[in-house]
Amino acid sequence: MELQIKEEAPLFSLPNQDNAEISLLNFRGSYVVLYFYPKDKTPGCTTEACDFRDSMESLNALGAVVLGVSPDSTKSHQNFINKESLNFTLLSDTNKEVLKMYGAFGVKKLYGKEYEGVIRSTFLIDPQGKIAHIWKNVKVKGHIEEVREKLEALRRG
């Protein structure tokens, strides 16, 4: 069942890069940019993470926090954050429960072959915990601009 805009965002708790349990509930009152990506330190994922890093000031000014989620371990996340000087939280979903909850894990196609994997997706969650926008099969180039524009539009009402 696919998540819909205006629907309650599924709640979860996952360990961050420091092995601290982070709950989506902790961020009520803020916009949350929840983005799912396949793998730390791969070209597309690194570009996406660095785009978020470089836009953090403007996203924070719009009242948003960024949470990245992948199946990588907390140690892998810590290394990724250190290597790329990331300034936001990465969450480890090793059993892919949250990925599946959000429809960000499933059948993908590459060169005509089907396989299961992470579907690059971003969910914008409003301060009340409802889904304000969904981007599926995200193309990294230009994605951060789309997120920022959507946030600005929501803030204007």
| Domains contained in the chain, CATH given | 14-19+27-156 (3.40.30.10)
Q: Is 99 exposed, middle or buried (0-12, 13-18, 19+ CB in 10 A)?
A: buried
Which residues are bridge partners to 124 per DSSP?
A: 33, 133
> Could you tell me the two tokens for 82?
């250190």
> Could you tell me the two tokens for 130?
């409802």
DSSP code string of 136-155:
-S--STTHHHHHHHHHHHHH
pLDDT at 110: 81
Contact, 127 vs 26, CB < 8 A? no
Residues 6+ apart with CB under 8 A from 22: 13, 14, 15, 16, 67, 89, 91
Catalytic residue among 22, 33, 34, 45: 45
Contact, 31 vs 125, CB < 8 A? yes
Q: How far apart are CA 137 and CA 118, in angstroms?
A: 10
Taking the chain (157 residues) in runs of 10, the rounded mean pLDDT of each run is: 93 98 97 98 96 97 97 98 98 97 92 93 98 96 96 92
Told to judge if 50 belongs to the known catalytic residues of this protein, a careful annotator would answer no
Return the beta strands (E) in 71-130 as ranges. Answer: 89-92, 105-110, 113-118, 121-125
pLDDT at 84: 98
